[in-house]
Amino acid sequence: MGRQQPKLSLFKIPNIRLFPFADARVLTFPTSDGAVSQWPLQTGKVVSKTGCFDFYRKVKPTEPAFVSWLHKSGSSVAELSGDGNVNATFSDLPAGYALFERMTFNGARARRHIVLIGSETGYHFRSVPEFVLHAFWLYHSRVGSCSCR
């Protein structure tokens, strides 16, 4: 008889998304500077005559990349806030924001990367560390000026 694998503990939060972080504190953004008008327009794959393409695909809330962004940014904001419990996750992205996977091919090399888009400034956050100071500012109700960029 083989050893049984431990079961991954999951819990549901209000928007029915499953998180594998059963002991994580759930944070929410009380405010946002998000603007859907900042989202990319090129969301369908159109291949040029030379075989090149450049488009965005919206990442679904159930995908690992989305869940990872919420957990990493939540933990980082909790740490910056001086909270003793840094095991935190956001319940969702700020209103008006979305996570996109950008896919490009220039004829020689294909690239894929995740970007967070929605800031009214038009800035695209290419990683959680780039977003953390902005997330901290949003989490603390946009007090003062954002120092992220």
Instruction: Sort 44 into a burial class: Cβ within 10 Å, 0-12 / 13-18 / 19+.
Output: exposed
pLDDT by residue (tens digit) across 20-79?
566 788 999 999 999 999 999 988 888 888 888 889 999 999 999 999 999 999 999 999
Angle among Cα 78, 79, 82 to the nearest 5 degrees reads 90
The predicted structure's pLDDT at residue 32: 94
Q: Which residues contact 5 (CB under 8 A, 6 or more apart)?
A: none
Whether this prediction's pTM lies above 0.85 is answered by no
The predicted structure's pLDDT at residue 1: 46
For residues 25 and 36, give the distance between their C-alpha atoms in angstroms, rounded to a whole number.
28
Q: Which two tokens stand for residue 61?
A: 């809330």
Looking at 11-127, list the stretches that DSSP marks H as alpha helix, in order from N- to C-terminal side: 64-80
